[in-house]
A and B are shown apart, each in its own frame.
Chain A
Amino acid sequence: MLSQFYAPFPTVSKMESSLDLSLIRSFLSEIASQGRTALLPALHAAQDFYGYIPEPVALEIAQTLQIPAADVFGVIEFYAMFHTQPVGKVIIHVCNDPACALAGADTVFKQLSRRTEYALETGEPISVTVEQSPCLGLCDHAPALLVQNLPATAAPEITWQELVAHTGRRPQTYVDGDLRLLTARCGKGHTTSLEAYLAQGGYTALRKVLTIPPERVIEEVKASGLVGRGGAAFPTGLKWESAARAEGTPKYVVCNADEAEPGTFKDRVLMEDDPHQVLEGMIIAAYAIGAAKGYFYIRGEYLNAYQTIRHAVEEARTANLLGSCILGSDFSFDIEIRRGAGAYVCGEETALFESIEGKRGFPRIKPPFPTTHGLFGKPTVINNVETLANVPLILQLGANEYRKMGTEKSPGPKLFCLSGDVRRPGLYEVPFGTPLRHLIFDLGGGMRSEAPFQAALIGGAAGTFATPDHLDTPLSFEGLRAAGLTLGSGVITVFDSQRDLRDVLFRLARFFAEESCGKCYPCQMGTQRQYEIMSRILNGQTRPGDIERLQDIGWTMTDASLCGLGQTAASAILSALSHWPHLFQATTFS
Chain B
Amino acid sequence: MNQPLVSLTIDGIAVQAEPGITILKAAQLAGIEIPTICYHDHCTANALCRICVVEVSGARTLVPACVATVQDGMTVYTHSERVQRSRRTILEMLYASVDLSEAPEIQTMAQVYGADPQRFPEAERRTLSPIDDNPMYIRDYAKCILCWRCVQVCAEDAQYTYAINFSGRGYETQISTFFHRPMPETTCVFCGQCVGVCPTGALKPKREWLLEQGYTPEAIMELTRSERRGKKRRANLAA
Give A residues with C-beta under 8 Å from B: 55, 58-59, 62, 68-74, 77-78, 84, 343, 360, 365, 513-522, 524-529, 532, 536, 549, 552-553, 555-556, 558-562, 567
- For the complex, is B85 an interface residue (Cβ under 8 Å from A)? yes
CB distance from B36 to the nearest CB of A (A): 12
CB distance from B79 to the nearest CB of A (A): 14
- For the complex, is B193 an interface residue (Cβ under 8 Å from A)? no
- For the complex, is B53 an interface residue (Cβ under 8 Å from A)? yes
- For the complex, is B210 an interface residue (Cβ under 8 Å from A)? no
- For the complex, is B120 an interface residue (Cβ under 8 Å from A)? yes
CB distance from A61 to the nearest CB of B (A): 12
Q: Collect the chain B residues with CB atoms within 8 Å of residue A549's CB.
A: 119-120
- For the complex, is B165 an interface residue (Cβ under 8 Å from A)? yes
Q: Closest B-chain residue to A536, C-beta based?
A: B122
- For the complex, is B206 an interface residue (Cβ under 8 Å from A)? no
Inter-chain CA distance A248–B217, complex, in Å, is: 59
| 5 sample A-B contacts, Cβ–Cβ < 8 Å, listed by A number | A360-B166, A515-B170, A516-B171, A519-B46, A556-B85
- For the complex, is B42 an interface residue (Cβ under 8 Å from A)? no
CB distance from A170 to the nearest CB of B (A): 32
Q: Collect the chain B residues with CB atoms within 8 Å of residue A58's CB.
A: 178-179
Q: Closest B-chain residue to A519, C-beta based?
A: B48
Q: Collect the chain A residues with CB atoms within 8 Å of residue B50's CB.
A: 520-522, 560-562
Q: Which among A68, A70, A71 has the highest number of chain B CB atoms within 10 Å?
A: A70
Q: Which stretch (B6-14, B26-34, B87-95) binds chain A?
A: B87-95
Q: Which stretch (B61-69, B129-137, B194-202, B225-233) binds chain A?
A: B61-69
CB distance from B52 to the nearest CB of A (A): 10
Q: Collect the chain B residues with CB atoms within 8 Å of residue A55's CB.
A: 178-179
Give B residues with C-beta under 8 Å from A: 46-51, 53, 61-62, 64, 67, 82, 85-86, 88-90, 92-94, 96-97, 119-120, 122-124, 146, 155, 162-173, 176-179, 186-187
By the criterion CB–CB under 8 Å, are B119 and A517 in contact?
A: no
Given contacts A519-B46, A521-B94, 9 further A-B contacts (CB under 8 A): A55-B178, A58-B178, A68-B155, A73-B167, A513-B170, A524-B146, A528-B97, A556-B86, A559-B86
Inter-chain CA distance A59–B193, complex, in Å, is: 25
Please tell me which one of the listed residues B61, B124, B165, B169 contacts residue A68 in the complex, with CB atoms under 8 A apart.
Answer: B165
By the criterion CB–CB under 8 Å, are A532 and B122 in contact?
A: yes
CB distance from A589 to the nearest CB of B (A): 23
Q: Collect the chain B residues with CB atoms within 8 Å of residue A526's CB.
A: 89, 93
By the criterion CB–CB under 8 Å, are B162 and A525 in contact?
A: no
Inter-chain CA distance A68–B186, complex, in Å, is: 10
Inter-chain CA distance A553–B94, complex, in Å, is: 12
Please tell me which one of the listed residues B48, B163, B169 contacts residue A520 in the complex, with CB atoms under 8 A apart.
Answer: B48
By the criterion CB–CB under 8 Å, are B176 and A559 in contact?
A: no
Q: Collect the chain B residues with CB atoms within 8 Å of residue A525's CB.
A: 90, 93-94, 96-97, 171
Where chain A touches its partner, the secondary structure class is helix
Inter-chain CA distance A518–B172, complex, in Å, is: 8
Q: Closest B-chain residue to A67, C-beta based?
A: B162
Q: Closest B-chain residue to A361, C-beta based?
A: B169
Known contacts: A70-B178, A559-B53. The answer to whether A78 contacts B169 by CB under 8 A is yes
CB distance from B102 to the nearest CB of A (A): 19
Q: Closest A-chain residue to B188, C-beta based?
A: A70
By the criterion CB–CB under 8 Å, are A84 and B179 in contact?
A: yes
- Return the 9 tightest CB-CB contacts between A and B, nearest first: A68-B162, A74-B165, A518-B173, A528-B171, A525-B93, A516-B170, A70-B165, A69-B178, A556-B89
Q: Collect the chain A residues with CB atoms within 8 Å of residue B178's CB.
A: 55, 58-59, 62, 69-70, 72-73
Inter-chain CA distance A517–B170, complex, in Å, is: 5
By the criterion CB–CB under 8 Å, are A532 and B123 in contact?
A: yes
Q: Which among B50, B120, B186 has the highest number of chain A CB atoms within 10 Å?
A: B50
Q: Closest A-chain residue to B82, C-beta based?
A: A559
By the criterion CB–CB under 8 Å, are A77 and B53 in contact?
A: no
Known contacts: A365-B64, A560-B50. The answer to whether A521 contacts B90 by CB under 8 A is yes
Q: Closest A-chain residue to B170, C-beta based?
A: A516
By the criterion CB–CB under 8 Å, are A517 and B169 in contact?
A: yes
CB distance from A564 to the nearest CB of B (A): 10
CB distance from A302 to the nearest CB of B (A): 21
By the criterion CB–CB under 8 Å, are B170 and A514 in contact?
A: yes
By the criterion CB–CB under 8 Å, are B122 and A74 in contact?
A: no
By the criterion CB–CB under 8 Å, are B163 and A70 in contact?
A: yes
Q: Collect the chain B residues with CB atoms within 8 Å of residue A559's CB.
A: 53, 61-62, 82, 85-86
By the criterion CB–CB under 8 Å, are B82 and A74 in contact?
A: no
Q: Closest B-chain residue to A516, C-beta based?
A: B170
By the criterion CB–CB under 8 Å, are B90 and A528 in contact?
A: no
CB distance from B37 to the nearest CB of A (A): 8
Q: Collect the chain A residues with CB atoms within 8 Å of residue B169's CB.
A: 77-78, 343, 360, 516-518
CB distance from A78 to the nearest CB of B (A): 5
By the criterion CB–CB under 8 Å, are B162 and A71 in contact?
A: yes
Please tell me which one of the listed residues A77, A528, A560, A567 contacts residue B166 in the complex, with CB atoms under 8 A apart.
Answer: A77
Inter-chain CA distance A340–B197, complex, in Å, is: 34
Q: Which among B82, B173, B177, B178 has the highest number of chain A CB atoms within 10 Å?
A: B178
